[in-house]
C-alpha cells in the first residue's frame, strides 16, 4: 500500500481535522489508490475555507431544554434510518439477521416530525445512523428535510456509515446538508478487515476517497477486539495519520448478541495507549462533552479513545437515540425504549410526544458506570443505531 508524507494539521469541529499548508498552496492529502483524500485550498497564512461553507449561527430553541435528573443537558440525537446493513461485523450483528418489517420503520415525515420536536427542545446536533444509512432509498430526501431544521436551531447534521456504497453519492450528500461523516474502519489490513466485517475493504477505501474529494469532513472509528485487530492499532493509526484523517478507537462494548461479548476481549484505553507509545509520543488533552478522550500524537495529530468499559464517560453524556422504529433510548445501555413511533402512529399530538420525551429524559439512568456489563434486551447494535 502506497505511503504518503505526513502533513501539518488543523484541529477543528470536535476532533475533525484538515491538512494545513503554506499560503497559496493547493496541496491535498493523497488517498487509497493514489486518489486525493482532501482538496482543501488555503487562503492567507493561518485561515482556510472549510469544505462546506454553511453558517452555524442560528436562533436557539426557545422551549425547555432536555435535562435528566443527574443534571446532564441533552444536545445530540442519533437517528437510525434503517436496521438493514450490507456488512456483517462480528461485534455488531449475526451473520444472518432477522430484519424488521419495512412497514414498521419510520417514514420520512415521521422522522422529521420527531427530529423537529427534539430540536425545538434544545437538540442542536443530529447524527444519521443505521444499520447502514445508504441502504435507505429516500436517504437524500431525509437529509434535505432534516437539514431544513437549521431554521429551528439545528447546527450540525452528521452521518455514520461503512462508506462501502457512498462513492457515487458522496458529493450529493454533502450538498444535501451533511456536515461530517464518521466512517467505520476497524483495520487497513484486507484480511483482518474481512475477518471482522465479512466483506472486502476496497469499496470502503473508495468511499473514503470519494468523500474527501467531495470536500467532506471525515473521522474514522475503529472498534478494537483482542485477538481480532489489536495488532492493527499502530498500522491503522499510521495509515490515518499519513492521510490527515482523525481516528477514534472504541473499546469493545457489551452490545452484541447475548453471550458473545467477553470482558477479556476488551482492549482497554491504557493498553491502546501503551501500544502507540512504543513508536509515537502521546499527550493527553483537555476533555469535553465528546465521548472520546482526546490525545495528541507526535505533537500534531488528534486521536480519540472511547473507553466506555474501562473509563466510562457517563457523567457528561449529552446524547439520545431513536431507533428505526421510533423507540427513544436515553442511554446506549438502556434495557427498554420509549415507543415514540407507536405513539405518533396512534395519533399523539406534538405536546403529548414532547411531554413523553421530557419525562423519559428526566428519568435517564446514571449510565454504564452504574451498572457495568452486558445489557439484557433483544435489540442488538445494528438495530439500535451506531
What are the pLDDT digits (tens) for 322-343? 999 999 999 887 888 999 999 9
For residue 46, pLDDT over 50 is answered with no
Predicted local distance difference test score (pLDDT) of residue 3: 39
For residue 36, pLDDT over 50 is answered with no
Mean pLDDT of 359-379: 73
For residue 88, pLDDT over 80 is answered with no
Predicted local distance difference test score (pLDDT) of residue 310: 78
Instruction: Please report which confidence band the pLDDT of residue 120 belongs to, taking 50, 70 and 90 as the band edges.
Output: very high
Mean pLDDT of the chain: 82
Instruction: Please report which confidence band the pLDDT of residue 288 belongs to, taking 50, 70 and 90 as the band edges.
Output: confident
User: What global pTM score does this model have?
Assistant: 0.81
Predicted local distance difference test score (pLDDT) of residue 38: 38
For residue 61, pLDDT over 50 is answered with no
What are the pLDDT digits (tens) for 256-275? 655 576 788 899 999 999 99
Residue at grid coordinates 487497513: 188
What are the pLDDT digits (tens) for 182-192? 999 999 999 99
Mean pLDDT of 129-149: 96
Predicted local distance difference test score (pLDDT) of residue 263: 80
Predicted local distance difference test score (pLDDT) of residue 250: 93
How far apart are the C-alpha atoms of 240 and 336, rounded to whole Å? 37
Amino acid at each position: 500500500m502506497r505511503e504518503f508524507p505526513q502533513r501539518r494539521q488543523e484541529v477543528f469541529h470536535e476532533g475533525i481535522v484538515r491538512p494545513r499548508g503554506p499560503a497559496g498552496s493547493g496541496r491535498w492529502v493523497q488517498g487509497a489508490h493514489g486518489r486525493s483524500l482532501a482538496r482543501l485550498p488555503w487562503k492567507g497564512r493561518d485561515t482556510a475555507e472549510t469544505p462546506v461553507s454553511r453558517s452555524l449561527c442560528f436562533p436557539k430553541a426557545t422551549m425547555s431544554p432536555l435535562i435528566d435528573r443527574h443534571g446532564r443537558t441533552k444536545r445530540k440525537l442519533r437517528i437510525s434510518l434503517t436496521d438493514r446493513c450490507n456488512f456483517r461485523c462480528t461485534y455488531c450483528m449475526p451473520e444472518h439477521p432477522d430484519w424488521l418489517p419495512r412497514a414498521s420503520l419510520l417514514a420520512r415525515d415521521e422522522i422529521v416530525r420527531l427530529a423537529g420536536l427534539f430540536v425545538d427542545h434544545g437538540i442542536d446536533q443530529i447524527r444519521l445512523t443505521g444499520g447502514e444509512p445508504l441502504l435507505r432509498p429516500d436517504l437524500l430526501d431525509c437529509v434535505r428535510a432534516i437539514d431544513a431544521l437549521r431554521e429551528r436551531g439545528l447546527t450540525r447534521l452528521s452521518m455514520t456509515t461503512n462508506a462501502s456504497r457512498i462513492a457515487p453519492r458522496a458529493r450529493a450528500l454533502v450538498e444535501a446538508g451533511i456536515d461530517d461523516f464518521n466512517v467505520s474502519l476497524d483495520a487497513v489490513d484486507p484480511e483482518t478487515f474481512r475477518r471482522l466485517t465479512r466483506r472486502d475493504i476496497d469499496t470502503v477505501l473508495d468511499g473514503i476517497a470519494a468523500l474527501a474529494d467531495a470536500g467532506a469532513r471525515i473521522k474514522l472509528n475503529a472498534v478494537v477486539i483482542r485477538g481480532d485487530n489489536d495488532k492493527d492499532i499502530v498500522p491503522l493509526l499510521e495509515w490515518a495519520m499519513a492521510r490527515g484523517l482523525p481516528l477514534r478507537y472504541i473499546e469493545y462494548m457489551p452490545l452484541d448478541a447475548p453471550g458473545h461479548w467477553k470482558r477479556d476481549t476488551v482492549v482497554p484505553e491504557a493498553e491502546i495507549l501503551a501500544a502507540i507509545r512504543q513508536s509515537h509520543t502521546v499527550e493527553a488533552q483537555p476533555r469535553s462533552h465528546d465521548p472520546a478522550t482526546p490525545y495528541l500524537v507526535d505533537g500534531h495529530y488528534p486521536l480519540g479513545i472511547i473507553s466506555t468499559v474501562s473509563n466510562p464517560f457517563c457523567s457528561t453524556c449529552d446524547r439520545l437515540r431513536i431507533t428505526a422504529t421510533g423507540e427513544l433510548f436515553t442511554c446506549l445501555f438502556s434495557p427498554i425504549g420509549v415507543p415514540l413511533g407507536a405513539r405518533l402512529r396512534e395519533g399523539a399530538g406534538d405536546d403529548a410526544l414532547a411531554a413523553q420525551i421530557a419525562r423519559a429524559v428526566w428519568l435517564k439512568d446514571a449510565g454504564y458506570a452504574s451498572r457495568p456489563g452486558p445489557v439484557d434486551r433483544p435489540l442488538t447494535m445494528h438495530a439500535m443505531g451506531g
